């Protein structure tokens, strides 16, 4: 019997989440790194519940992780697999990544293409987009200010950059009439270059009506995590967004991805503001399971540092286990 060894670390790094989380302030991003070893094989995972999005707190996740690791250790004598069933999503995801890495089930290569988050200045966007190879896709958070202003900005960018595609995310901010105000400012001939608008309205039904009425493609993000959600083909549905840290184990995410693909629906793997360790794993998951789709992983720059693993092309300082932002948890 080979020896199983595991270690748990906790991190806290400065972050400015305002851009993504709107008025929800998060000064530091906290989470756990789990390292498991079995003989010569090693795997890492990140367990980082996102406040206001995850049901579980970091404390709860930590406790559950410690319990699971102890039981996993006990199961070894019987050479049993120990299930991830019933765990919090962030715990199931982090542990499943560590196991998948250890077992060599996760490809090394990642999809590091990003849809840069932009703030409406086309000159700035030109520069950014010219530096990225391939498809020009940018993402704008909408619904924070006036809906007509959002519409004007989207239309102006699409007008100014003829090969630009946009992803927009309203996070359910609009009533149907606000959403209509947005649409009014986007010229009909520009609408097909909106790859999707995530969750325009407060309810799914309103979002469907909006999409149908204005011929603008939508994507489900928040909806995917609701109990009554199931994958189905819908006329204006372009994609579903999967944030694995909020969803559950890798196996569960893969099942959902495959189901969406069977229905002809695109899947966009997306960040829950993980550290560079978790983000690089998400890039690898995207590469493996959603080839040819740019993932929604442009969140590293909200942080001041990278931890343990480097995001391809990032200039941010890379810190290790010895840094002041990481400490070991003994149990």
Ligand X SMILES: O=C(O)CCC(=O)c1ccccc1C(=O)O
Which residues are catalytically annotated? Answer: 141, 243
Q: Which of 29, 62, 136, 139 binds ligand X (CB under 6 A)?
A: 139
Asked if 169 interacts with Mg ion (CB under 5 A), we say: yes
Of residues 63-102, which lie at the interface with Mg ion (CB under 5 A)? none
Binding site members for Mg(2+): 169, 198, 221
Closest distance of CB 273 from ligand X, Å: 5
**Structural contact between residues 14 and 303, judged by C-beta atoms closer than 8 angstroms:** yes
C-beta separation of 318 from 279 below 8 A: no
| Beta carbon of residue 241, minimum distance to Mg ion (angstroms, whole number) | 6
Q: In the sheet that 28-38 helps form, which strands lie side by side, from edge to edge?
A: 41-47, 28-38, 4-14, 326-329
Q: Is there binding between residue 46 and Mg ion (CB under 5 A)?
A: no
Between CA 241 and CA 220 the distance in angstroms is 6
> Residue 53, interface with ligand X (CB under 6 A)?
yes
Out of 8, 13, 15, 20, point to the residue binding ligand X (CB under 6 A): 20
The owner of tokens 């367990």 is 47
- d(CA 88, CA 54) in angstroms, rounded, equals 9
> Which one of the spans 72-80, 267-275, 281-289, 303-311 is the region binding ligand X (CB under 6 A)?
267-275
What is the rounded distance in angstroms from the CA atom of residue 180 to the CA atom of residue 270? 27
Burial state string for 70-79 with b = 16 or more CB within 10 A and e = fewer than 16: eebeeeeeee
Residue least distant from ligand X (Cβ)? 296
User: CB count, 10 Å around CB of 90?
Assistant: 33
For position 155 contacting ligand X by CB under 6 A, the verdict is no
Residue 180 near which of Mg ion, ligand X, none (CB within 5-8 Å, type-dependent): none
Examine residue 198 and tell whether it contacts Mg ion (CB under 5 A). yes
Find the part of the chain contacting ligand X (CB under 6 A) among 60-68, 96-104, 177-185, 271-279: 271-279
| Residue 10 is a binding residue for ligand X (CB under 6 A) | no
How far is residue 331's CA from residue 117's CA, in Å, rounded to a whole number? 40
Q: Is there binding between residue 30 and ligand X (CB under 6 A)?
A: no
What would the two tokens of residue 249 be? 């184990």
Least distance (Å) from ligand X to the CB of residue 171?
A: 5
Chosen from ligand X, Mg ion, none, partner binding at 299 (C-beta under 5 to 8 Å by type): ligand X
Among ligand X, Mg ion, none, partner that 273 touches (CB below 5 to 8 angstroms by kind): ligand X
Q: Which one of ligand X, Mg ion, none is in contact with 296 (Cβ closer than 5 to 8 A by kind)?
A: ligand X
- CA 200 – CA 295 distance, rounded (Å): 20
For ligand X, give the closer residue by CB, 241 or 247: 241
Residue of the chain from 271, 275, 276, 306 that contacts ligand X (CB under 6 A): 271
Contact between 224 and ligand X (CB under 6 A)? Answer: no
With 0-12 / 13-18 / 19 or more C-beta atoms within 10 angstroms meaning exposed / middle / buried, residue 128 is middle
Is 53 in contact with 108 (CB distance < 8 Å)?
A: no
Residue 298 binds Mg ion, judged by CB under 5 A: no
CB 204 within 8 A of CB 227: no
Would you state the structure tokens that stand for residue 136, as one six-digit string?
């020009």
* 221 binds Mg ion, rule: CB under 5 A: yes
Q: Bridge partners of 239?
A: 219, 266
Footprint on this chain of ligand X (rule: CB under 6 A): 20, 53, 139, 169, 171, 221, 241, 270-273, 296, 299
């Amino acid at each position: 019997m080979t020896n199983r060894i595991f270690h748990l670390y906790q991190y806290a790094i400065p972050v400015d989440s305002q851009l993504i989380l709107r008025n929800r302030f998060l000064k530091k991003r906290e989470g756990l790194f789990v390292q498991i070893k079995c003989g010569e094989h090693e795997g890492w995972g990140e367990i980082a519940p996102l406040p206001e999005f995850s049901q579980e707190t970091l404390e709860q996740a930590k406790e559950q992780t410690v319990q699971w690791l102890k039981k996993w250790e006990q199961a070894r004598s019987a050479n049993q697999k120990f299930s991830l069933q019933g765990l919090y999503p962030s715990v199931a995801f982090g542990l499943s990544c560590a196991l998948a890495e250890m077992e060599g089930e996760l490809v090394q290569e990642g999809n590091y293409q990003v849809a840069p988050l932009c703030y409406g200045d086309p000159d700035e966007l030109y520069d950014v987009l010219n530096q990225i190879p391939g498809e020009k896709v940018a993402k704008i958070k909408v619904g924070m200010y006036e809906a007509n202003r959002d519409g004007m900005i989207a239309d102006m960018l699409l007008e100014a950059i003829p090969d630009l595609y946009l992803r927009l995310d309203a996070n359910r901010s609009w009533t149907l009439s606000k959403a209509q105000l947005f649409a009014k400012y986007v010229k009909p001939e520009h609408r097909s270059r909106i790859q999707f608008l995530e969750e325009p309205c407060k309810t799914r039904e309103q979002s469907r009506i909006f999409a149908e009425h204005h011929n603008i493609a939508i994507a489900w993000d928040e909806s995917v995590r609701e109990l009554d959600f199931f994958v189905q083909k819908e006329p204006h549905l372009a994609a579903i967004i999967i944030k694995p840290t909020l969803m559950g184990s890798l196996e569960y995410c893969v099942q959902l991805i495959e189901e969406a693909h069977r229905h002809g629906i695109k899947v966009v793997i997306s960040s829950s503001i993980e550290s560079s360790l978790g983000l690089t794993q998400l890039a690898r998951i995207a590469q493996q399971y959603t080839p040819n789709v740019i993932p929604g992983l442009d969140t590293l720059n909200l942080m001041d540092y990278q931890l343990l693993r480097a995001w391809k092309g990032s200039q941010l300082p890379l810190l290790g286990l010895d840094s002041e932002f990481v400490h070991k948890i003994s149990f």
